[in-house]
């Protein structure tokens, strides 16, 4: 949360998200994937996975940083006070290295009562056939609110019931010193739970027993609509709790995690560490199980408060947390710190299901898949960069596949001569033909050089962006052919001493004349193989000839494969006679309409829905209730491109 060493301080659309003096390039690189961004600050991270992407919601520390006076060297003259922060930063990634900056959610403009937006958490749930998104936050220590939206990045609004979810004087607040740090869980049965609380009773007069066992953590059931409470809150007796509730579920076990306070004398929790308790029930009781992540000072030589969240992505568990690594890299004075940045590292479990201690690193996690260069990529998709900022733009234009929400749009700004932006592991497939940037010149404009593997790599071509200032249009240029997977660097050049241009999005085109076979494009009679399906599979087909073998088909709710043992789909509205087991191999014999399929494209690369011809209303394969284990049923359901209806295609043998 936003309380440091016991001192409490008081705080639609997306606005300018750039820090006043801060630009990118201080920490991130091709070898250091932490923090996940360094062009602005973000703290108290919570990660939500949806439709093949990870969305990270953060307290916007740049909100305070922007308002803080700077010295002649651009360093802040005051520490982060948190009291003005009323915005939440959102970024997302489909590969955990290239992150799209979606800007800020201004809670103070959405609600009439909240002054602060600290320590957000988010979830999604299908309600009345539609996926709905919920964002929880702390208003200082005095209340917990909730917003809702139809997409992960908004626009968010207050629910009709009002967004004051937990307030002082309510049963859910009794015995809780700080109404802090909500963490939300939607269980496998669709029921929602909220975890929150913190602080030490007695304040400066607290006894050592109160410091050791504050008794201020709570869990409460959420109503089916996720914006009201269902029943009374229950206490979680977390030893030495300070703040920062966390929750996740793994293999049927519930893990409640939290940050220990700085005044307890318990050797088994220590001070400012992330501790874990375990239970077989989301409401507890929970049993203490140890320290899983120490204070950031241990790993980075700069401490402060500790905040975290565990999350699942593509079958693996990760820890996201904050540390003052950008503050350290920029050498802020010791008394003017507190500006935090978000990291991600991987998590493992021992044979008894206990979390193994996680170490904080600069290296971070490996990229989970390549970036598709041949779809629209937002310019604010950043692997690492130098000298750049991001900000909101009102320019909308047509929304092509790849953009996430048509009602909000970000741009890359603060582009000067010599600055650059890189995306990690871009898949150029069979070779480049050209690239197009949607851009707007500033101060006469300039050029974008496209280079592989480093900013000094062999230039593939350059795009000239000149013309009327503040006019958005497409700028294109031919590129030398290059194949395979490369880091791509966009190096910016111009004679102006000021900004050169703004960038909205970019897209490459393929060299279709290439004679090299594209491994991602199956031909008639072949099986799906080598990790992909090419664009253009829009008609009904039996998918490549005499039989359909989906090989290793993985659903986003887990790295699992679907096996039907040669059974067929019928018109009865379900997959009939399927084993329902997830394992290698899935084969159909071509026959009637019930055995013909169409691949439905999604915004993510190599991710498709699979709908059947027999269903005139586009029904699709659906993993029942988002199950992740062997034996989960597969049914036919109205297609809506949610994560349990979208599939990736991976290599298989004949």
| Active site amino acids | 44, 243
Phi then psi for residue 52, to 5 deg, are 80, 10
Q: CB of 264 within 8 A of CB of 241?
A: no
Radius of gyration of the chain (CA): 25
Distance CA 195, CA 403 (A): 33
Distance CA 190, CA 224 (A): 8
- Token couple for 651: 């290599």
Distance CA 17, CA 393 (A): 10
Q: Is 231 helix (H, G, I), strand (E, B) or coil?
A: coil
Distance CA 599, CA 539 (A): 8
* Pick from 488, 490, 507: nearest CA to 375: 507
Q: Is 325 helix (H, G, I), strand (E, B) or coil?
A: helix
The DSSP symbol for 324 reads: -
Distance CA 121, CA 133 (A): 11
Distance CA 183, CA 276 (A): 14
Distance CA 119, CA 105 (A): 13
Distance CA 491, CA 449 (A): 5
Q: CB of 322 within 8 A of CB of 44?
A: yes
Distance CA 299, CA 362 (A): 9
Distance CA 2, CA 10 (A): 10
Distances (CA, A) of 560 to 348, 426, 551, 622: 19, 25, 11, 14
Distance CA 277, CA 253 (A): 10
Distance CA 649, CA 533 (A): 7
Phi then psi for residue 378, to 5 deg, are -60, 140
Distance CA 469, CA 91 (A): 28
Distance CA 358, CA 356 (A): 6
Find how far residue 454's CA is from the centre of its chain. Answer: 26
Q: CB of 448 within 8 A of CB of 416?
A: no
Q: Give counts: helices (H), strands (E), the chain.
A: 5, 40
């Amino acid at each position: 949360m936003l309380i440091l060493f016991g001192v409490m301080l008081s705080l639609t659309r997306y606005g300018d998200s750039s820090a006043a003096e801060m630009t990118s390039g201080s920490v991130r690189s091709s070898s250091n994937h932490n923090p996940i961004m360094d062009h602005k600050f973000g703290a108290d991270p919570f990660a939500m996975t949806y439709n093949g992407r990870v969305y990270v919601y953060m307290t916007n520390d740049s909100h305070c940083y922007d308002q803080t006076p700077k010295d002649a060297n651009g360093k802040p003259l005051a520490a982060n006070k948190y009291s003005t922060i009323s915005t939440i930063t959102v970024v997302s990634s489909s590969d955990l290295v290239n992150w799209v900056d979606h800007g800020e959610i201004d809670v103070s403009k959405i609600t009439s009562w909240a002054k602060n937006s600290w320590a957000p958490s988010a979830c999604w749930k299908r309600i009345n056939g539609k996926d709905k998104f919920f964002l929880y936050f702390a208003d200082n220590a005095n209340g917990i609110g909730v917003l809702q939206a139809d997409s992960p990045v908004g626009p968010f609004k207050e629910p009709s019931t009002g967004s004051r979810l937990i307030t002082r004087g309510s049963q859910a607040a009794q015995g809780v010193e700080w109404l802090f740090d909500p963490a939300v869980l939607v269980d496998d049965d669709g029921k929602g739970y909220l975890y929150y609380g913190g602080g030490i009773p007695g304040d400066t007069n607290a006894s050592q027993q109160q410091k050791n066992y504050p008794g201020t953590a709570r869990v409460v059931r959420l109503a089916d609509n996720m914006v009201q409470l269902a029943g009374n809150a229950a206490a979680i007796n977390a030893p030495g709790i300070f703040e920062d509730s966390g929750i996740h579920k793994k293999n049927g076990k519930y893990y409640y995690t939290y940050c220990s306070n700085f005044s307890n004398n318990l050797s088994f929790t220590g001070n400012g560490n992330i501790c874990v308790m375990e239970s077989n029930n989301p409401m507890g009781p929970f049993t203490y199980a140890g320290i899983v992540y120490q204070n950031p000072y241990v790993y980075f030589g700069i401490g402060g408060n500790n905040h975290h969240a565990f999350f699942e992505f593509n079958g693996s568990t990760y820890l996201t947390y904050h540390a003052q690594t950008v503050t350290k890299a920029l050498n802020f004075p010791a008394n003017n710190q507190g500006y935090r940045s978000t990291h991600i590292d991987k998590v493992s479990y021992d044979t008894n299901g206990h979390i193994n201690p996680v170490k904080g690193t600069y290296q971070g996690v490996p990229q989970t898949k390549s970036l598709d260069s041949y779809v629209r990529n937002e310019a604010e998709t950043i692997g690492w960069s130098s000298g750049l900022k991001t900000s909101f733009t009102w320019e909308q234009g047509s929304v092509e596949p790849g953009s996430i929400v048509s009602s909000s749009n970000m741009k890359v700004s603060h582009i000067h001569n010599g600055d650059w932006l890189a995306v990690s592991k871009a898949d150029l497939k069979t070779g480049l033909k050209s690239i197009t940037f949607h851009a707007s010149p500033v101060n006469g404009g300039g050029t974008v050089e496209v280079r592989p593997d480093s900013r000094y790599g062999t230039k593939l071509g350059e795009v000239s962006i000149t013309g009327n200032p503040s006019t958005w249009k497409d700028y294109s240029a031919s590129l030398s052919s290059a194949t395979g997977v490369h880091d791509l660097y966009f190096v910016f050049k111009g004679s102006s001493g000021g900004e050169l241009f703004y960038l909205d999005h970019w897209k490459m085109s393929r060299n279709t004349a290439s004679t090299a076979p594209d491994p991602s494009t199956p031909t008639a009679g072949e099986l799906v193989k080598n990790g992909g399906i090419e664009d253009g599979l829009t008609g009904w087909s039996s998918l490549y000839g005499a039989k359909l073998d989906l090989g290793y088909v993985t659903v986003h709710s887990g790295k699992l494969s679907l096996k039907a043992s040669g059974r067929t789909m019928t018109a009865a509205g379900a997959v009939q006679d399927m084993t329902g087991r997830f394992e290698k191999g899935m084969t159909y014999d071509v026959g009637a309409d019930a055995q013909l399929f169409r691949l439905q494209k999604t915004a993510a690369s190599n991710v498709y829905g699979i709908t059947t011809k027999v269903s005139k209303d586009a029904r699709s394969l659906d993993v029942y209730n988002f199950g992740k284990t062997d034996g989960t049923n597969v049914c036919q359901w109205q297609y809506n491109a949610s994560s349990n209806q979208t599939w990736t295609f991976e290599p298989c043998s004949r």
